[in-house]
Structure 1
Amino acid sequence: MSDNPQNQPDTPDQPEEALHRRAIRSFVMRAGRMTDAQKRGVDQGWPRFGLSLDLGMLDLDHVFGREAPRTLEIGFGMGQSLLEMAQAAPEQDFIGVEVHRPGVGSLLNGVLNAGVDNIRVFDCDAIEVLNRCIPDGSLDRVLLFFPDPWHKKKHNKRRIVQLAFAEALRQKLKVGGVFHMATDWQPYAEHMLEVMSAAPGYRNLAEDGTYVPRPEERPVTKFERRGERLGHDVWDLKFARVE
């Protein structure tokens, strides 16, 4: 499970203001020791694939050197799923955001080893990335897989999926673009469903208005396989921007 790089907005009626607020964080900054491979990933991969906030609002066609469908993953962990998706869809472009430095190094090392060129990486707060670097209406998909569920009730306000976040994210999606979430914590799945069902401008893609079957395009991670062996279920939700 990955801690996800974003502040939790806590004023749902004012999404733009909430994007700037940093009082409540929905992730825990983790440094961690880096392996030699992860260090290689950062040292050799970052100059080519790394992006930073000081670049400002990006021209994504210029960043990738082409026009293509674009996916943003928030909190990619060690990067296994993101790399697998990028390899499986070379005609698409992928942007990953992760605050865990060893995870960034792991992904970049994998990118170098695989020889793919359709991934770019931020190593900072995803809310800042959305606010400062991602143009409105530029994304075909946003992925949020296994975010920190903040189990304790007093910490529920730190969960990233809240109305203000949903509204801010909607602005970045194209009309028809999809916000895909997955969690193995049922109370958080129920929270996601409640929030997204109330968020304006979205349509639930589940036929029964709840959860979608596990999509083939979402890779199964080691973390998920371990959970399956322990009898853990996974809930996937997909909501499309309709206006």
Structure 2
Amino acid sequence: MIAVIIDDEADARKNLSLILEEFCEDVTVTGEASSALEGVKLIQSTNPNVVFLDIEMPNGTGFDLLDCIDSSRINVIFVTAYNEYAVKAFQYSAVDYLLKPIDIELLKQSISKIRTNSEEERGFQKNQLQAMMNVYENNHQKIAIPTIHGFDFVQINDIIRIEADRSYVKLILAGEKKMTVSRNLKDFENVLPQSIFFRTHKSHLINVNRILKYLKSDGGKVEMEDGYLVDVSRSKREKFSQFIRKV
């Protein structure tokens, strides 16, 4: 299990690293950061399974960090000296909220929770993704969207765009309909037909049949049928221009 520690106090980072090394042998700390900005870069470069995250840091809080990344596949354990942020932490889908000084038994319980959740989640997500793919392979007109009750079947061309939102995605559909799904954007990118769906940005997958305008000003934006302006990232602009010429 790959872990990183993000805390502005060097002694706190060192102490937690030593505790993990001694009491959680399957956890390997591959990096540390002392600020939210450094933490974002560290997470993007290491793709850890778990992030031990302080809250109050210079130039940005732990919550600011989570707002800058796709945390849907990262287990976050807050480690802080402040107890007043607990409710907000769990709103960010934190695995746990540990107060300093660290209670070793509580830390071990947090790691155990991640192990259990990871095994169950892998099996559950594999089954959901397979169901999505089976429906598409058998009927290229529809896709199965997992819900808490089962699956909703959506016409593929009714999907205007899909937007990442932390650990969820929002499907924006024709007829002013919306769905929120506990999946990540990559899952939909893998299942939906690449001939009409394009990833314009880390947070957006769009149906090119539902584009109204492509605006090259302001760095490149796409106006979709719902009126939303989707950014086209700098790295995708040339490929996107080539893509829409073929449609």
TM-score range, shorter chain: 0.3 to 0.5
Report the structure number with the largest CA radius of gyration: 2
Bigger strand fraction: 2
